[in-house]
C-alpha cells in the first residue's frame, strides 16, 4: 500500500488536544504549518504516519514571536546584540500587569485625563533630585534629537571635534544632529579642546553647547577636554549626553559620568539611556532645567518619540523596585563567580565533557565604561560546542578565546547555572 494514503488528514491532526491548545497560544496558521510539515515528512518516509501529531507538536515554537530568549554567557553585561539590559522580575511583572487596558493617561479618581506615565516620571524625578524636571522618550538618540530640534533647529550646536563619535551600526552623532536642521560648529581638535575654544565660537546663532561622552572608546596621551563647570558661563545652555544611563555615581566605574553629577556641575540638560547601566527598558531620559525640559516636552516632535505603556511600567519598576540584573552582575564578587565556575565545570567534567574552570575578564559593554575590566570566572569548553549551544534550547551564547569557548558566569544569573549545565550536556551529546 502507498504509505502516503496512511498520512492522517489535516483536520484529524488539528483535532489533537495539544494542537488545539497550541492554536490558542500561537495562532492557527503556525500550528497548521507545523502539521503540514509533519505530513510531508511522513510522505517522504522520514517518520511514521502515526507520529504526525507528535512531530507537529515537537516542531512548534515556544512563543508566537520569532525572538528567542537566550542565556548571555559572553561576559558583556550590556550586550547590544542580545537586547542590552535584562529586565528585573519586577519590571517584567509590571509590563504583564498593564498589557491590557491601564490608566496610562487617565485619572481613576476624577475620571479625567491625566499626565501620561506620571508614575514613571515621578520615579525618575525622585531618582535624580538635582533635576528640576524630567522627560522620557523612546531611546537616547531620540532624546538628543528632540533637544537639538527644540533648542537649535536653524541654529548652531557647538561640539568638540573629539566628540564627533559614531554610536554603533554606522550611526554618527554629526549625522544625527544635522538631520534636525541644526548646524554643527566644531571646536578644538581631536585630542584637545579647551573652554576658550567654546567661548570663542559662541555667538548669536548658538543654540547650545553639547558635550558627548565618548563612551565606546578612549583617547590617551596628549589630551585635554573642557569640563562642564568651565562651560556654564557662556550664556548658552550646556547639554551633556552621558549615554550610559548612570543616574548617580558608581564607585566601581569612577570615570563613567552620571546624571546627578553632571547637573550639579552646571549642565542644563542631560540625556541618557534607560537600557544600559540603569538596567531598565529601552528609553531615552532627559533631565535638567525645567524650562528647557518643558520646551522639549511641548515640541511637536515629542509626540512621535513618546514611549508606550509597557516601557513606562518597566521603567518605573526598575527605578522603584529591587536591584536590576545589570547592577547585580556588575557587583558580583569574583570569589563567588569562581566557586560557581568550579562547581559547574566539575559537574560537566564528571559527565565526560572537556570542561575547565578558568579565570576570565568581563566588560560593561553597551558603549559604557570603555577599558574597564571586570575580573570574572568562566567554564572553558571545546570550540566545537559553540554552534550547538547557540542553536539549542535554551540558546547559550559565549565567546571564543584561544580556540576555546568560554561561558563567562558574570553575565549568567546564578539560578541559570543548571540550565547552562543541561544545555552543555545536550550540545556535547549532539556533537558526539
Domain termination residue (choose one: 305, 322, 339): 322
Tell me, what's the pLDDT at 165? Answer: 76
Whole-angstrom CA distances from 82 to 96, 125, 398 are: 21, 29, 12
Are residue 111 and residue 242 in the same domain, yes or no? Answer: yes
**By C-alpha distance, which of 381, 120, 394, 113 is closest to 274?**
120
- Angle at 347 (CA atoms; ends 342, 353), nearest 5 degrees: 105
Do 33 and 172 belong to one domain?
no
Question: Considering only CA atoms, which of 135, 67, 84 is closest in space to residue 289?
Answer: 135
Query: What pLDDT is stored for residue 89 in this prediction?
Result: 97
Residue 77 and residue 93 in one domain: no
* Domain enclosing residue 16, as ranges: 9-59
Q: Has residue 199 been placed in a domain?
A: yes
Cα 43 to Cα 30, 38, 52, distances in angstroms:
20, 9, 10
Residue 1 lies in a domain: no
Say yes or no: 309 and 359 in one domain.
no
Do 340 and 257 lie in one domain? The reply is no
Same domain, 198 and 218: yes
**What are the phi and psi torsion angles at 231 (to 5°)?**
-105, 0
Amino acid 174: pLDDT = 85
φ/ψ of residue 34, rounded to 5: -65, -40
Whether 310 maps to a domain, the answer reads yes
The CA distance from 63 to 69, in Å, is 10
What pTM does this model have? 0.90
E-assigned strand segments in 342-391 = 356-362, 374-382
Regarding whether 239 and 168 lie in a shared domain, the answer is: yes
Q: CB of 239 within 8 A of CB of 189?
A: no
Between CA 391 and CA 408 the distance in angstroms is: 18
Does residue 314 sit in the same domain as residue 361? Answer: no
Residue 348 lies in a domain: yes
Do residues 137 and 217 both lie within one domain?
Answer: yes
Residue 2 is assigned to a structural domain of this protein: no
- Residue 65 resides in a domain: no
pLDDT at residue 221, rounded to an integer? 65
52 & 132 share domain = no
Q: Is the CB of residue 198 less than 8 Å from the CB of residue 147?
A: no
> Please, how many CA atoms are within 13 Å of residue 179, restricted to the half-sphere of its CB?
11
Query: Do 98 and 213 sit in the same domain of this protein?
Result: yes
Task: Write the CATH number for 366.
Answer: 3.90.1150.180
CATH of the domain at 175: 3.40.640.10
Please name the residue ranges forming H helices in 164-300: 173-178, 195-201, 259-264, 290-298
- Whether 3 is in a domain gets the answer no
Give the pLDDT score at 189: 83
Which is nearest to 212 in space by CA: 129, 299, 144?
Answer: 144
Residue with cell 544545555: 423
Q: Is residue 351 part of a domain?
A: yes
pLDDT in tens for each of the 432 residues of the chain?
566 778 999 999 999 999 999 999 999 999 999 999 999 999 999 999 999 999 999 999 988 888 999 999 999 999 999 999 999 999 999 999 999 999 999 999 999 999 999 999 999 999 999 999 999 999 999 999 999 999 999 999 999 988 887 766 667 888 888 899 999 999 988 788 898 999 999 999 999 999 998 755 566 666 678 899 999 999 999 999 998 899 999 999 998 999 999 999 999 999 999 999 999 999 999 999 999 999 999 999 999 999 999 999 999 999 999 999 999 999 999 999 999 999 999 999 999 999 999 999 999 998 778 778 999 999 999 999 999 999 999 999 999 999 999 999 999 999 999 999 999 999 998 555
Number of domains, the chain: 3
Q: Are residues 303 and 362 in the same domain?
A: no
Amino acid at each position: 500500500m502507498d504509505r502516503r494514503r496512511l498520512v492522517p488528514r489535516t483536520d484529524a491532526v488539528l483535532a489533537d488536544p495539544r494542537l488545539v491548545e497550541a492554536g490558542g497560544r500561537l495562532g492557527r496558521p503556525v500550528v497548521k504549518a507545523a502539521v503540514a510539515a509533519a505530513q510531508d515528512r511522513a510522505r517522504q518516509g522520514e517518520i511514521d504516519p502515526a507520529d504526525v501529531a507528535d512531530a507537529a507538536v515537537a516542531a512548534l515554537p515556544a512563543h508566537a514571536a520569532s525572538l528567542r530568549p537566550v542565556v548571555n554567557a559572553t561576559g558583556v553585561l550590556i550586550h547590544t546584540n542580545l537586547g542590552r539590559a535584562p529586565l528585573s522580575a519586577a519590571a517584567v511583572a509590571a509590563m504583564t500587569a498593564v498589557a491590557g487596558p491601564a490608566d496610562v493617561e487617565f485619572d481613576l479618581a476624577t475620571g479625567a485625563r491625566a499626565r501620561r506615565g506620571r508614575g514613571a516620571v515621578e520615579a525618575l524625578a525622585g531618582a535624580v533630585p538635582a533635576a528640576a524636571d524630567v522627560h522620557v522618550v523612546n531611546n537616547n538618540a531620540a532624546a538628543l534629537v528632540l533637544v537639538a530640534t527644540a533648542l537649535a533647529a536653524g541654529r548652531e550646536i557647538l561640539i568638540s571635534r573629539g566628540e564627533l563619535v559614531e554610536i554603533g551600526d554606522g550611526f554618527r552623532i554629526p549625522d544625527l544632529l544635522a538631520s534636525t536642521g541644526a548646524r554643527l560648529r566644531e571646536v578644538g581638535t581631536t585630542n584637545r579642546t579647551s573652554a576658550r575654544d567654546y567661548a570663542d565660537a559662541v555667538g548669536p546663532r548658538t543654540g547650545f553647547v553639547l558635550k558627548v561622552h565618548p563612551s565606546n572608546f578612549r583617547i590617551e596621551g596628549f589630551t585635554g577636554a573642557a569640563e562642564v563647570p568651565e562651560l556654564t558661563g557662556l550664556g548658552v545652555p550646556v547639554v551633556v549626553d552621558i549615554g550610559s544611563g548612570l543616574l548617580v555615581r558608581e564607585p566601581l566605574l569612577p570615570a563613567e559620568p552620571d546624571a546627578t553629577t553632571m547637573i550639579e556641575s552646571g549642565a542644563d540638560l542631560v540625556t541618557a539611556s534607560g537600557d544600559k547601566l540603569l538596567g531598565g527598558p529601552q528609553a531615552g531620559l532627559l533631565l535638567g532645567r525645567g524650562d528647557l525640559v518643558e520646551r522639549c516636552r511641548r515640541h511637536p516632535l515629542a509626540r512621535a518619540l513618546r514611549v508606550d505603556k509597557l516601557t513606562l511600567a518597566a521603567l518605573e519598576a526598575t527605578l522603584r523596585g529591587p536591584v536590576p540584573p545589570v547592577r547585580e552582575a556588575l557587583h558580583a564578587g569574583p570569589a563567588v563567580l569562581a566557586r560557581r565556575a568550579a562547581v559547574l565545570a566539575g559537574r560537566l567534567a564528571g559527565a565526560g565533557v572537556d570542561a575547565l574552570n578558568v579565570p576570565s575578564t568581563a566588560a560593561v559593554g553597551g558603549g559604557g565604561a570603555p577599558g574597564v575590566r571586570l575580573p570574572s570566572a568562566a567554564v572553558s569548553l571545546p570550540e566545537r560546542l559553540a554552534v550547538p549551544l547557540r542553536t539549542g534550547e535554551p540558546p547559550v551564547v559565549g565567546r571564543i578565546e584561544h580556540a576555546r569557548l568560554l561561558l563567562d558566569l558574570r553575565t549568567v544569573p546564578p539560578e541559570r547555572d543548571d540550565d547552562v549545565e543541561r544545555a552543555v550536556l545536550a550540545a556535547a551529546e549532539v556533537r558526539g
